[in-house]
Every structure is written in structure tokens, then in C-alpha cells.
């Protein structure tokens, strides 16, 4: 598990990063800070593994904070998340591990987090509870949770569509929702979709609303009661 501190003077930016991190496996937001001074205090109290750090902030800016941390010795891994496109060279001079330009996309953030995981030696942290477990030909198959695209209940089984194909499990959608809170969105009584893979909605010729997902041609139907909440979620992720 990586403990992450979000540092940005704008609340909407902090909220967005928190939502994106919630989609990624083995990440926990341990705190937020709206200024570099708040960040220094939080770093002392919380000892985060990773900082998601804005550059433009009142008082000491993010680049100056990174320099203070480096001069003080050991510090968390730093990923800059900024609207500026011309500070990348300065970022790497203070040994930041990555530089993301807003609006940050979840796929790009995931790559940065994995880079931080490698740097910190946390690559082996794949606990079984972050996998969907199925049995194929008498062998147990573990599908990484962040690779799961959608889950559809069919008869007594649940079909798992993931980035490399499909498997079948006997866990119910309700059990999976409870086991992985916040990771999936229920679009229908018989379907969950990965928030990370959500891309949009479309209207079928039959008049049904369906969820568009990256990594698969499967388009689970969206029930009328869930359309409004799903549109809200899509606007937040865009």
C-alpha cells in the first residue's frame, strides 16, 4: 500500500486527484494540504510515501517545497501535478519521479504511481484481496483488480471481462461491491463497471442506454434509475 499526500491550493483539484487515486489499487490518500507550510507539517505527522504536488501555490510554491525536502535529506517520492507545461526540467532537477500536466488522466497517473512503487521497492505488494479470483481447468487464476473492466451476472455465475479476455466466477455482484468499495459502479442490477474504464454512454437502436468502456466491445445496459448518477460520475472523471 502506498500512502499518498495531495498538495494543491485548489479544493476541486484535490478532489479530482482523490477520485482518480480511488480507482487505483493499493493506494491510500492519508491527507491533503492547501499550502507548502501545511504540507511540511503533514509530512512530519503522516510520513507519506508519495506527494502529488502542485507548483503554483501562494507562499512557498511546489518547486521550492521540493527543494526544501531534498536539502533536508530523505523525503517522499514527488509527482508534480500542474497546469504548467514548461517546468519539467526544473522538476527533474529536484529529483521528482514524474511530471503530470492538468487535467491529469487516470491512465497517466497510474503509470506515475507504478513508477513510484518501483522506486520505493513496493512492486511485490499484490495481496490476494486486490485480485478477482476464479478457477479455470482446476487452477486458480488471479486477475488484478485494476485490469477488470466490467462484471455481468448471468444465471448463477458472474462473467468478468478484463483487459486480456474473460473469466467466470461464482461471487455475486453484491459481494464484489462490498469487497471492493468505490472501485465499481453499478449500472444495472446485473452489471458493475470499472470506474477507471468508463468512457461514455450511447443509445442503442432498441432505445437502451449502454455504457462505453475502454478495452472491450462489451456495452452493459444502464438502468433508468442509474443514468443520472452515471452521467454525474462521467462529468467528474472528464
Burial label, 238 (beta-carbon count in 10 A; 0-12, 13-18, 19+): exposed
Q: Per-residue pLDDT tens for 168-227?
A: 998 889 988 888 878 899 999 999 999 989 999 999 888 999 999 999 999 999 999 999
pTM above 0.85, yes or no: no
- Given a cut of 70, whether residue 158 has pLDDT beyond it is yes
Rounded to the nearest 10 degrees, how much is the dihedral formed by the CA atoms of 62, 106, 15, 127? -100
Q: Which helix (H) or strand (E) holds 176?
A: helix 173-179
pLDDT for 124: 52
Which residues of the chain does CATH 2.40.50.1020 include?
128-237
Q: Per-residue pLDDT tens for 84-105?
A: 888 888 888 888 999 999 999 9
The b/e string for 113-138 (b: 16+ C-beta within 10 A; e otherwise) is: beebbeeeebeeeeeeebbbebeeee
Residues facing residue 151 across a β-bridge: 160, 192
50-67 mean pLDDT: 95
Compute the distance between CA of residue 93 and CA of residue 91 in angstroms, rounded to an integer.
5
Contacts of 42 (CB under 8 A, 6+ apart): 5, 31, 32, 33, 48
pLDDT for 30: 94
- What sign results for the dihedral spanned by CA atoms 111, 113, 119, 123? negative
SS3 172: coil
Cell numbers 468502456 correspond to 213
Cell numbers 497510474 correspond to 110
Please report how many Cα atoms fall inside a 13 Å half-sphere around the Cα of residue 27, on the Cβ side. Answer: 29
Compute the distance between CA of residue 139 and CA of residue 155 in angstroms, rounded to an integer.
23
pLDDT for 127: 45
Topology, domain 2-119: Rossmann fold (3.40.50)
Q: What is the CATH number of domain 128-237?
A: 2.40.50.1020
Split at pLDDT 50, 70, 90, the class of 160 is: very high
Q: How many CB atoms lie within 10 A of CB 141?
A: 14
Q: Per-residue pLDDT tens for 105-155?
A: 988 998 899 899 888 876 654 444 577 888 766 667 778 888 899 999 987
Q: Per-residue pLDDT tens for 13-54?
A: 999 999 999 888 788 999 999 999 999 999 999 989 999 999
Contact 67, 94 (CB under 8 A): yes
Which residues of the chain does CATH 3.40.50.2300 include?
2-119
Compute the distance between CA of residue 43 and CA of residue 63 in angstroms, rounded to an integer.
16
pLDDT for 138: 66
Amino acid at each position: 500500500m502506498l500512502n499518498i499526500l495531495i498538495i494543491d491550493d485548489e479544493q476541486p483539484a484535490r478532489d479530482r486527484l482523490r477520485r482518480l487515486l480511488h480507482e487505483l489499487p493499493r493506494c491510500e490518500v492519508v491527507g491533503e494540504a492547501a499550502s507548502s507550510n501545511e504540507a511540511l507539517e503533514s509530512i512530519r505527522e503522516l510520513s507519506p510515501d508519495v506527494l502529488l504536488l502542485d507548483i503554483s501555490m501562494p507562499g512557498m510554491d511546489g518547486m521550492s517545497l521540493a527543494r526544501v525536502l531534498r536539502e533536508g535529506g530523505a523525503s517522499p517520492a514527488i509527482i508534480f501535478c500542474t497546469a504548467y507545461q514548461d517546468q519539467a526540467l526544473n522538476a527533474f532537477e529536484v529529483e521528482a519521479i514524474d511530471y503530470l500536466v492538468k487535467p491529469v488522466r487516470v491512465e497517466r497517473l497510474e503509470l506515475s504511481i507504478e513508477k513510484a512503487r518501483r522506486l520505493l521497492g513496493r512492486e511485490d505488494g499484490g495481496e490476494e484481496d486486490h485480485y478477482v479470483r476464479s478457477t479455470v481447468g482446476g487452477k486458480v487464476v488471479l486477475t488484478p483488480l485494476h485490469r477488470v473492466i466490467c462484471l455481468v451476472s448471468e444465471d448463477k455465475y458472474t462473467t468478468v471481462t478484463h483487459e486480456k479476455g474473460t473469466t467466470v466466477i461464482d461471487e455475486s455482484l453484491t459481494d464484489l461491491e462490498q469487497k471492493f468499495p468505490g472501485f465499481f459502479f453499478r449500472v444495472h442490477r446485473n452489471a458493475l463497471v470499472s470506474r477507471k474504464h468508463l468512457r461514455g454512454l450511447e443509445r442503442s437502436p432498441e432505445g437502451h442506454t449502454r455504457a462505453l468502456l475502454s478495452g472491450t466491445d462489451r456495452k452493459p445496459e444502464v438502468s433508468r434509475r442509474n443514468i443520472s448518477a452515471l452521467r454525474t460520475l462521467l462529468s467528474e472523471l472528464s
